[in-house]
Chains A and B, each alone.
Chain A
């Protein structure tokens, strides 16, 4: 691996009375595609700026390859940044933008040309070298910014919401391209985003942040399947959360007594002592919806309810089901075997919901969220 590992330990940073980072620690491995994910104002961009050297932390240490770089100015760190606004120099051509770091080093013209053309071809912009940034589309500007950030051969590339200014289709394409650039150059990428879909699809690991703290670090699968808290579960994708008390433990499973809903069988990773108040999370796509009861089976949770709102969106239908025991649940239903499966479910139809105990997990309950989830209502963040 050509990249560096990045260690962040105990970083705190305040802007006036606002605490942007409250003691953040991370270990990012060599060559990893690491995402900092969180809502706006969670501190992810501040953390990136601390790593880049634009912000001096109030306390804590940034290490690159085991060397403490705290206090070094940005031009002395072997990391380069792709800015959210691209930050291309408007007075220079595409070629000179990419050549900027080389001109500072006074490299001979021939070498500059060779390196710049190599990097422009990496981002497929060979034909645009003599254009001004103002003549480029958003996606092309983004590519120039990436080529410029890579030409110094940094060992860490910092990307600050690089795709947020692009439209949805282009964002998908650029994401795939970023991933392939990461594979080609093999250096460490630290990617800041508020878009959980982006983070899930390209990252090796993700750190979910909120209010200046890291809530969970893990692979996309770990974050999605085993969210550490209510907040993570809600922020990453849609989810249903039920509040309850652990009534019994049995091997990997726990029975959680939920108000109004009765007992639910849940997978618990040893963190659910008897009598503890916990939240249970179930992803909407893991719940089966049917007009008839699937019958009682071990390891299967069954609830009944009424369709409150079917929302058809082509590749799937999203149902909001009002539960018999109170509260509501979101369910996704894919359209494979659409005709032979259950008939089209309509408003006010009575339905049965079922899911395997293994598909529901106990998450650590955030104190704040408790009141909201008592009725089992799922309030996922807007996608």
Chain B
């Protein structure tokens, strides 16, 4: 036998860590979604689609500004010492992923703003003179538009990676301590963003293209999940225990049904049929992908907090 009893019962710590509630998964999901949107809209800018469509090059970055602000508000709500939040921006700690993240988010806003100004719809012209001037300046320089597109893709990729690195840097939680997590969250963010554009764009070309792209992202995500789980199962006992939390433990039902089944496999089948013109495009598959991406963050954040190094002692 091996029995441990403790007199400690600190709130949010015992019997298992539960310091992060809904705010962090929502923040990580919205951060990943915006990262994916930035990569997609950056690609469209790079390819010159801003000449044909207002949606991907104007509305998407605008929507991203709102989504990212909502995500940052969720993060702000999570802080326990809210009045001191400005401390994040008075220092830079190289070893702290959260410090990197706060400065990356500062880069994201001007990048999104530059993207929105590449093509302003007529309804929004002649309202703010400065924006009109900047927009005209950008439009006269096609190479600058391409550069903004590349910048948007790079900053988006960094943002998407950061949402995974934030967790995987915390080695005390075996489930998060995986080198796959950043690429898994980046791919999930891309998949949710492709589904999001697929869902709301009025451009047939973009809808078809992003449904195809999303199928690729979903297949790659399945491959990454396999890598993530195999990596944990082939590691130490505590990492194996962490993997079993989502494979057969208390988080298994949500993981298999909502993340893998409803979030990846079912929408993948529907979208494969849709892109092969066997069924029509409907909002069902993209909504499932988006909800699956959100639930993935909840499962990973919650199960990660539950996982611990207790095998060698309390």
Q: Do A and B come from one complex?
A: no
